[in-house]
């Protein structure tokens, strides 16, 4: 009997029961290969207004500094690919924001998973994370065998594409590790060629200053006029680099009720979005990640798209 293997199998079985589409495990430690990449990206000022990326450099690269005593990183994927998408010819939001804010939906599932681990294995200490701490989530997911980081800098899986959220448990339990996934982008440059603002400045390098997701979500100032006519009608986020990726032909619709969109979100025309009231905004985007931009932020972007 191998406790490391048995405990890993138990966690993966429970993760599947909770609705996660994949679960992989790696040993907690310093991400030596990622350090120079992150340093170069930051030195190039490619974080845009995301100044939080400049903080906690050491913790970002080593989860044992974030969770003392950590031995394993359990990476999990949760599908958000919708069965229905917005009407064509309207202002668009990224598919990940169609339903309720993923932070809360997935964190509840992670807490359930931690409870089961403690019930079945014993006193296990650690923390759960959903895009909520200085963790290089895509690097850990790749290290855990769940996929590879594509040329658009998103995690890709041969089985399910890239329309999924990444979450982690960082725990003090020693677990059997999974092998590193290999890169299957090959010579394809579909994402680089399709990016409306040319934000993918080279394979595996995204300049946040040009990224539509950054411009419409993270940037709190007015979108620079240099991007006038270049945002491809995206009012919150952007899915272009994922939509054109050949691996996403394997994406299948999620079955999470909390990710189902408000019907008006799918049907609204440009004229209706332009006349959006604050009251209706809160109705359509109740508990949605779009609340991050707020009503005023979304309207500011819509006005920019109209002009």
Band (pLDDT 50/70/90 cuts) for residue 57 is confident
Give me the percent of the chain exceeding a pLDDT of 70.
100
- Would you list the domain boundaries of the chain? 1-307
Is 131 part of the annotated catalytic residue set?
A: yes
| Residue 44 predicted with pLDDT over 60 | yes
Cα separation, 134 vs 46, whole angstroms: 17
* Residue 199: per-residue pLDDT: 98
* Residue 52: per-residue pLDDT: 74
* Residue 212: per-residue pLDDT: 98
* Residue 47: per-residue pLDDT: 85
Average pLDDT over every residue of 301-306: 96
| Residue 208 predicted with pLDDT over 80 | yes
| Residue 180 predicted with pLDDT over 70 | yes
Per residue in 235-245, pLDDT tens? 999 999 999 99
Which spans in 134-252 are helix H? Answer: 137-143, 190-194, 212-213, 240-243
* Residue 132: per-residue pLDDT: 80
Of 112, 131, 183, 232, catalytic: 131
Among 44-58, 87-101, 128-142, 278-292, the least confident range: 44-58
Q: What is the mean pLDDT of the chain?
A: 95
Structure tokens at 57: 């450099």
Band (pLDDT 50/70/90 cuts) for residue 118 is very high
Facing residues of 79 across strands? 164
Residues 6+ apart with CB under 8 A from 136: 31, 34, 38, 60, 61
| Residue 23 predicted with pLDDT over 90 | yes
Average pLDDT over every residue of 29-46: 90
Average pLDDT over every residue of 64-91: 96
Q: Of 141, 162, 160, nearest to 150 (Cα)?
A: 162
Among 43-47, 166-170, 265-269, 284-288, the least confident range: 43-47
Average pLDDT over every residue of 117-123: 95
| Residue 220 predicted with pLDDT over 90 | no
Average pLDDT over every residue of 84-107: 96
| Residue 35 predicted with pLDDT over 60 | yes
Cα separation, 208 vs 205, whole angstroms: 9
Band (pLDDT 50/70/90 cuts) for residue 173 is very high
Q: Where are the beta strands (DSSP E) in the chain?
A: 22-27, 72-79, 92-93, 126-129, 148-149, 155-156, 164-171, 200-202, 205-206, 234-236
């Amino acid at each position: 009997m191998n406790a490391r293997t048995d405990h890993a199998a138990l966690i993966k079985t429970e993760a599947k029961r909770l609705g996660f589409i994949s679960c992989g495990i790696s040993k907690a430690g310093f991400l030596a290969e990622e350090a120079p990449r992150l340093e170069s990206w930051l030195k190039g000022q490619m974080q845009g207004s995301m100044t939080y990326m400049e903080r906690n450099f050491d913790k970002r690269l080593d989860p044992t500094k974030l969770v003392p005593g950590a031995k394993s990183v359990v990476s999990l994927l949760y599908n958000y690919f919708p069965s229905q998408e917005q009407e064509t010819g309207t202002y668009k939001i990224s598919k990940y924001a169609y339903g309720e804010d993923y932070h809360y939906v997935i964190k509840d599932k992670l807490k359930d998973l931690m409870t089961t681990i403690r019930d079945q294995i014993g006193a296990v200490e650690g923390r759960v994370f959903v895009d909520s701490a200085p963790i290089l989530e895509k690097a850990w997911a790749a290290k855990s065998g769940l996929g590879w980081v594509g040329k658009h800098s998103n995690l890709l899986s041969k089985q399910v594409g890239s329309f999924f959220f990444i979450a982690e448990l960082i725990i003090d339990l020693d677990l059997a590790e999974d092998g590193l996934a290999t890169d299957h982008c090959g010579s394809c440059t579909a994402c680089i060629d399709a990016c409306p603002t040319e934000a993918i400045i080279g394979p595996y390098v995204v300049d946040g200053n040009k990224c539509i997701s950054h411009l419409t979500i993270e940037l709190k100032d007015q979108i620079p006029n240099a991007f006038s006519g270049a945002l491809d009608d995206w009012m919150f986020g952007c899915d272009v680099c994922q939509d054109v990726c050949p691996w996403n032909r394997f994406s299948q619709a999620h079955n999470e009720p909390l990710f189902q969109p408000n019907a008006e979100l799918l049907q609204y025309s440009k004229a209706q979005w332009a006349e959006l009231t604050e009251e209706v905004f809160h109705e359509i985007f109740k508990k949605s990640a779009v609340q991050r931009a707020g009503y005023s932020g979304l309207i500011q972007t819509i006005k920019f798209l109209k002009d």
